[in-house]
Structure 1
Amino acid sequence: MKFEVYCDEALPDLFTSEKPRAKYLMIGALWLPADLREEAKAKIAALRERHNVHGEMKWRKISPSRLDFYAEVIDLFFGYAADMRFRCIAVDHEKTNLDHFHDGDGELGFYKFYYQLLHHWILDFNEYTVFCDLKSNRSPTRLAELRKVLSNANLSAEILNVQPLPSGQLVLMQLCDILLGAASSRLNFDAPASPAKLAIVERIEARLGRKIGPTWKSEEKFNVFKINLQGGW
């Protein structure tokens, strides 16, 4: 099968900031079969029209006036059951030894954790196209290197591309942003300060039947990988 993966990150500056705002750097990915893309986009477009919501969907844009729209976007995600899945990795920046493991290079460390996010959900005999939110890298070869390492680690799968694109062009990357924002709000702050955002977090938790938090590796719908930097899951 052909799959598409839409990625986004939260608090990516934690490795380099002198005054970190939170504990966990987080990277998220929305996974779906490629042949579902147009249907999912059309359904989100219909929700936009019904609620008169335009512009880029983002976690930070959730507000009381748009709460019903974002709640229905969450319901759409869960309506696809196992055909649309979310996974994120949470990295404790306080326990990340950049000097020892990443040559003192925060950007290199960031993409190593990107690899950990993606690698464990790549299955044999499938094809994958990965879309990453466009960001400035000191090294222009980071994504090409990420694709190469993923390909070398998954010889029976095909990584067709790891491509950067602006999130404003990809509504499914925007959906990833919303899910990642909810996960980050729980892990980093226990709950968002905004009542509207809290309502979205609680809607996700109601659909999951549990509070958002670290999951077992086997969790397939809403997987939160709180990486153990001393080894293991």
Structure 2
Amino acid sequence: MHILFVDESGSPPESDKAHAQPYFVLGGIVIPEDIWAKVASDLARLKSHHHIDGEIKWRYFAPDRGGKAHALSHLSAEQRETLRTQLYEVIKHYKSIRLICVVTDTVKAYELGYIKTGDDLYWYSYKQLTERFQYYMQDLERVVGQKLNGMVVCDHRGPKDDARLRELHHKLMNGKSGVISAYGNMVEGLFIAPSHLSVGIQFADMVAGAVYRAFRTTDRRFADQITSAFRSSPAGKIEGYGVVKFPKGW
């Protein structure tokens, strides 16, 4: 079993706010079940070493400006950077971990006739992400020569948003249209967990944040640290495989 943990960076805006929020990222980290316990142990070790009580989130690494205290408030800027690097080292350490992200240009997406709302942005980004996860499972299955299954775990967003996403996920898994991929390797159902209770979602948040920053500010310092973990083509191409742009062509 391979588990795709998903979190977002940025928010899918409504059309009138797209220029102010030009990018939206869904970040995914694929963790095989046989190494999940090791990843969980690594995260627990880092939290203990840095005396962290609570979840780790990308936004907690920003400089504090008198806001609400959080799990990293006691760390200096230098200590936070060390921790961030150590988290990315965990990702790179396990060769069977793969990263898949969808980067949506919200302005260009709204130029498409079928994108009308922020929900549409999330839905089509999620579709791109789960399709690439299915393709990855198919590719891996051919390599190992046996049937492999995958499941998706998403961060809790809110009762109504969660219910909507479950419906969309069900539609994808059971769709018969030619524009919907066959999800033959996917376990039925979508699992939703609060980020503070999920090791995988905390890592997915760190991945999504790094990719969002790379596109929003062209600062690639953090995305470059995890480049080797992104899904890629046999020739080593990441774009379209591990980093997917929506819509195409930008």
TM-score, normalising length: structure 1:
0.79
Contact 1:99 1:105 in 2 (8 A): no
Which residue in 2 is equivalent to 1:228? 247
Which residue in 1 is equivalent to 2:191? 163
What CA distance in whole angstroms lies between the structure 1 residues aligned with 2:112 and 2:53? 44
Contact 1:27 1:89 in 2 (8 A): yes
Which residue in 2 is equivalent to 1:77? 91
Contact 2:106 2:121 in 1 (8 A): no
Structure 1 residue 160, shift from structure 2 partner:
3.1
Structure 1: 5+ residue runs without aligned partners? 192-200
What CA distance in whole angstroms lies between the structure 1 residues aligned with 2:113 and 2:85? 43
Q: RMSD of the TM alignment (CA)?
A: 2.9
Select which of 111, 114, 119 maps to 1:101: 114
Range 88-97 or range 122-131, more displaced: 122-131
Say if 2:153 is the partner of 1:131.
Answer: yes
What CA distance in whole angstroms lies between the structure 2 residues aligned with 1:96 and 1:121? 22
Q: For residues 67-124 of structure 1, what are the alpha-carbon distances to aligned partners after superposition, in whole Å with 9 as ceiling and x for unaligned? A: 222211111111112x11111111111112377214x333133112201111122134
Structure 1 residue 157, shift from structure 2 partner:
1.6
What CA distance in whole angstroms lies between the structure 2 residues aligned with 1:178 and 1:155? 27
SS in structure 2 at match of 1:12: coil
Report how many residues are paired. 214
What CA distance in whole angstroms lies between the structure 1 residues aligned with 2:187 and 2:111? 28
Contact 1:127 1:157 in 2 (8 A): yes
Structure number with the higher strand fraction is 1
Structure 1 residue 172, shift from structure 2 partner:
1.5
TM-score, normalising length: structure 2:
0.74
SS in structure 1 at match of 2:188: strand
Contact 1:32 1:85 in 2 (8 A): yes
Which residue in 2 is equivalent to 1:5? 4
SS in structure 2 at match of 1:56: coil
- Sequence identity of aligned pairs in percent? 18
